[in-house]
Structure 1
Amino acid sequence: MDIRFQPALLQEVIDSFIEKTEREGDPTYYKEFHELADPIYEKYTLEDREPEFKKLYQYLFGTWGFSDIINSAFDEYPILKERVGIVLIKGVLKEAEEGVDILRKWGAVEQDLAKQFEQKGLKGVGIKLIPRRFYDPALSRYCRHELMHIADMLDPEFGYDPDTKVGQNPGEETLILQRYRVLWSLYVDSRLERAGKEMMLTKQDRFKEFRSWYRKIPPPQLKSVFEGLWQTETFNHSELVEMATDTLRVMDRAIDVEGGEVPETQNKVMLMPGFPCPLCRFPTYSWVEDLDTKVEGYVLDFIRENHPGWDVQYGACDRCVEVYKLRADGVM
């Protein structure tokens, strides 16, 4: 497996690390750099310095242990070293741009080299990191977590499909994809905990993240649902998509735990923000729930007449409830 670092990233990591350590009172790295860099200025012309500095940054990046962090992360996943032909690591400016993914387009990899990988059935992996991440103690945890995602992607039993279509509108799609990300990360960290390895986030932090995306689940039930998810040993891509799409499928995973409550999900409908109203079919964030207690019976009957098969359990948006009340009263 070939690991390649973007030259600009190497320089940025070394320069920022030197600045950081010198600012903190440790001039060791500053002195070592200049002991090697100053002769380049003396011996080479301006045109010839660039390749020499490139070699210097590569040397220091390895000598100071930055490349070992990535190598060690892959050592934890022998299956990746068998199935991945090349790893391209480049720098980004913002944390939001960071990530690890399978290369669907080879991009910077030479075409001849790309063909060699494809002929052998090998994949390419792209890693995007901000430079200061390399001297952040959390980098090992981050790589361990993200590489398990990659291992899942390459596992036929997981059945990862990046082209899966979700949602009936952009708002619903965003919600489902965010929930999918939360569920998959929960699945990754739960396996790392069982393996006795340091996780990216603690179990408690994963619970808080899960809770923020499933606010419709009552707190006692939420605890039982989360614990059921955490203790599940295997999920696949389709199951995660299904749970991200349908809250009831998540609630089906609940188990008995102290202080928790196993929900009754049979024949229950969850009214999720951003999902389409069953009457007007438009996405809504303003559901009217408990219609049988909040809306007059004759209005509900009028809605049923106009929408055969609909019932109060399916809910309706506040706009539709208002409109159908006016129609039932003969105003519209």
Structure 2
Amino acid sequence: MDNHLNKNFKCGMVSIIGRPNVGKSTLLNRILEEKVAIVSRIPQTTRNQVRGVYNEDRGQIIFIDTPGMHEGKDRLDNFMNKASSSTLKQVDCVIYLVDTTRQVGEEEGVIAEKVKKLKKPVILGLNKIDQKKANIDEYIKFWEEVKGEPINTMKNFTLMPMSGKKGINVEALMDVLFEYLPEGPALYPTDIICDVPIKMAVADIIREKLFRNMKNEIPHAIGVIVEEIKPLKKKKTTEVKVLILVERNSQKEIVIGKDGQVLKKIGISARMELEELLETKIFLNFYVKVHKSWRDDNYLLQEIGYDPSSL
């Protein structure tokens, strides 16, 4: 693809925003056809903005998949909420994604108030319409009340019933995005799909495996920091040194498991994905540390990828 030959080539940034676990990462992965953002049934699995880059003949779209907005309890939560809010100022268009299988809640109202003030195009993505208990009419009424006008009179607005998981109306969503985006040259090389630093990408893969295995036991008490990635001498293998943070000794026991079985299982599943990502054999070196207040520790939050000075 040579965008210099296409006078109508478009390029812009799009933010996907919404409550935790509404399907933002699933939608981004469906669009890019790559596993870029963490997908899990556990809310708040996306802790950093993930820039996914979509390329085709019409243009280039840089997607920002943000952490889900939610009530903050500590500095990590505050960082996540600030990351979500800050992207709204940078982008050309916003996909406001809602889970139509859930009732409209207080958190939804907080997000909607932020979105309604934007002076840029908004797409209200009514996600998970493939499920029987979808409350489509409730969300339409909710958005009309927030905006104070009927859907059919709103400017720079598109209503999009869809399913990121099933791919329903995803192509129609892309058509609308290209209509909204400005003309301009590509900002990234066309062979790049994501600009996340490699350590952060590795940490996200490991954290996803932890979340999937821990289920609802302790996922939000877990932090993952990749301390070092280095080739091992005399072996065609790369060592990945990983620090897993928990808040209590009992959580450490759960993460490790009896005779280390849980950690071993996580290592096996993570290694397969990491070897494909890094294109080399991987030796995972895990160690688990108890730090009661790691979610409020500026140094550790900076290691995870947040800037303490942003608060």
For the aligned pair, the TM-score class normalised by the smaller chain equals: under 0.3
Say which one has the larger Rg. Answer: 1
- Choose between structure 1 and 2: higher helix proportion: 1
When the two structures are superposed, what TM-score results if normalisation uses the length of structure 2? 0.25
Q: Which has the higher contact order (CA 8 A, sep 6+)?
A: 2
